[in-house]
Amino acid sequence: MTILSDLVDGALADMARRQEQVSLDDLKERARRQPSARDAVAALRAAGPVAVISEIKRASPSKGHLADIASPAQLASAYEAGGAACISVLTEERQFHGSLADLDEVRAATSLPILRKDFIVHPYQVHEARAHGADLVLLIVAALEQTVLTSLVERVHSLGMTALVEAHSRLEALRALDAGARVVGVNARDLTTFTVDRANFAQIVDVIPEGVVAVAESGVRSAQDVLAYAQDGADAVLIGEALVRDGNPRDAVAQMVAAGAHPTLASSRKVRVRSARDHHHSR
Ligand SMILES: O=C(O)c1ccccc1NCC(=O)[C@H](O)[C@H](O)COP(=O)(O)O
């Protein structure tokens, strides 16, 4: 039993409980009443050079309690005011202490694209994300067989949302691309040991073509870390702990955004090589 499989099992058990209350048909009906999903790729590109995805995260398996977040809506508004391009909402209940109610609250508070961050391995969870107003859905390569990954990416895209497909290695990044990902995240956190190694991004990013948005996830503690990820070719960074622990989340986001727009980046930023995959993904 690994940390990831434990998290997936818990998410599936919680989903089974919700399925008893809300049928898939009910979810689809609720999704139909939502405004169309926002274009997260456009939002991430427009916010460049480096977009900031700001996360609402109360707790984590690696750190335990992080922050009392009484109002996810207020925190989302502070993130938006600070210049975030997207908001990430952890909806996993057991270890991260999030919920779909958090997603509903944040949806009502912001017009930014919202990522549903959870351990998503079943189509029901994808429809649930849309029904609660999500625009992006996290899919973790390590948790999914390739055929299942591909079909979930297709389902996410067919509902007008964007899949953020998360990789921890070059092989997983290639699997994400083969599954049709338009946004690939490289997570610095090893899900077997919880070790955070930001250098992981630089070792993987060159397999992600320019036409695909590359997101550096985890381990950003300062504006300097944003700058370093940007220099390595990140199009976006996903930041949780550093923002929820900061007493002034609006200014904290603004500092990260400013770092991503630093003038020195124009000359020092690595441009990812264009490959045949670029052609495929820009069609
Ligand atoms: O954060 C954890 O401890 C964790 C453990 C196991 C699976 C996922 C986990 N985190 C999810 C994330 O990917 C992060 O919340 C996200 O990248 C932000 O990271 P950070 O800025 O380091 O809080």
pLDDT band at 281 (very low <50, low <70, confident <90, very high): low
Per-residue pLDDT, 280: 52
80 lines ligand 1 (CB under 6 A): no
Per-residue pLDDT, 276: 47
Q: In percent, how much of the chain has pLDDT > 70?
A: 95
Q: How far is the CA of 25 from the centre of ligand 1 (A)?
A: 32
Q: How far is the CA of 55 from the centre of ligand 1 (A)?
A: 9
Please give the ipTM for the structure prediction. 0.98
Least confident of 72-86, 158-172, 215-229, 257-271: 257-271
Per-residue pLDDT, 78: 98
Q: Given a cut of 70, is residue 115 above it in pLDDT?
A: yes
Q: Average the pLDDT over 39-64 and give the result.
A: 95
Query: Distance between CA atoms of 40 and 157, rounded to whole angstroms?
Result: 11
Query: Distance between CA atoms of 187 and 239, rounded to whole angstroms?
Result: 11
Which pTM was predicted? 0.95
Q: Which helix (H) or strand (E) holds 239?
A: strand 236-239
Query: Distance between CA atoms of 259 and 25, rounded to whole angstroms?
Result: 45
Query: pLDDT tens digit string along 220-232?
Result: 999 999 999 999 9
14 lines ligand 1 (CB under 6 A): no
91 lines ligand 1 (CB under 6 A): no
Rounded to 5°, angle at Cα 127 from 81 and 212? 60
Query: pLDDT tens digit string along 243-272?
Result: 999 999 999 999 999 998 888 877 777 777
Closest atom of ligand 1 to CA, residue 217: 17
107 lines ligand 1 (CB under 6 A): no
Q: Given a cut of 50, is residue 180 above it in pLDDT?
A: yes
Per-residue pLDDT, 268: 74
Per-residue pLDDT, 265: 77
Per-residue pLDDT, 261: 86
Q: Given a cut of 90, is residue 179 above it in pLDDT?
A: yes
Q: Which residue has the higher pLDDT, 48 or 168?
A: 168
Closest atom of ligand 1 to CA, residue 243: 21
CA 278 to chain centre: 22
The residues, ordered by sequence, that sit 6+ positions from 4 with a Cβ below 8 Å of its Cβ are 119, 140, 142, 143, 191, 192
Per-residue pLDDT, 1: 67
pLDDT band at 282 (very low <50, low <70, confident <90, very high): very low
Closest atom of ligand 1 to CA, residue 138: 13
Pairing of strands 64-65, 59-60: antiparallel
| Phi, psi of 36, deg, nearest 5 | -55, 155
185 lines ligand 1 (CB under 6 A): no
Q: In percent, how much of the chain has pLDDT > 90?
A: 88
Q: Given a cut of 80, is residue 44 above it in pLDDT?
A: yes
Q: How far is the CA of 136 from the centre of ligand 1 (A)?
A: 17
